[in-house]
Amino acid sequence: MQGTAVGRAVDLTLLRSYDELISELEKMFEIEGELRSKDKWAIVFTDDEGDMMLVGDDPWDEFCKMAKKLFIYSSDEVKKMSSKSLLDDECTMVQLEPDQRTVKL
């Protein structure tokens, strides 16, 4: 999955929790159970200040307001990441549409 760009969309306003978001992503990529385990993949997002944050720490409603893009990295990649190499690394990038708050995978 890492390194692929798939033209899919998920509407965050239709989801009520991180649990539902994870379920949706796992179903979408047919990787049930893999995102929840946290050992294999890390889901991060860029917020409205341009910072890259791990998904899950914020209250869900706040996350929906501030998230701009979602990235799914392998755990190994996250550990190795430095600021410089971040955007160059291949990953699955998720674009959040500001108007619709949708997640484009």
Partner 1 sequence: MVCDSVIDLGLSLRTIQHEPYHTSGQSVGEYREVTDELKSNRGEFLQKKHEARNGRCGKECWSNEGGRKKWGYVKVTMDGFVVGRKVCVLDHGGHSTLAHQLEDMFGMQSVTGLRLFERESEFSLVYKDKEGTWRNAEDVSWKELVENVERLRITRRNDFLLFF
Q: Say if CB 29 and CB 1 are below 8 A apart.
A: yes
Is 56 one of the binding residues for partner 1 (CB under 8 A)?
yes
CA geometry: angle 65, 32, 46, nearest 5 deg: 25
Residue from 7, 13, 50, 57 touching partner 1 (CB under 8 A): that is 57
Helices vs strands, H then E, count in the chain: 4, 6
Site string for partner 1, 70-89 (x = CB under 8 A): -----x--xx-xxx--x---
Residue from 5, 54, 76, 97 touching partner 1 (CB under 8 A): that is 54
- The closest of 36, 44, 48, 103 to 73, measured between CA atoms, is 44
Determine the residue type at 44: V
Is 99 one of the binding residues for partner 1 (CB under 8 A)?
no
Residue from 4, 6, 19, 100 touching partner 1 (CB under 8 A): that is 19
Contacting positions for partner 1 (CB under 8 A)? 17-19, 22, 38-39, 42, 44, 49, 51-62, 75, 78-79, 81-83, 86
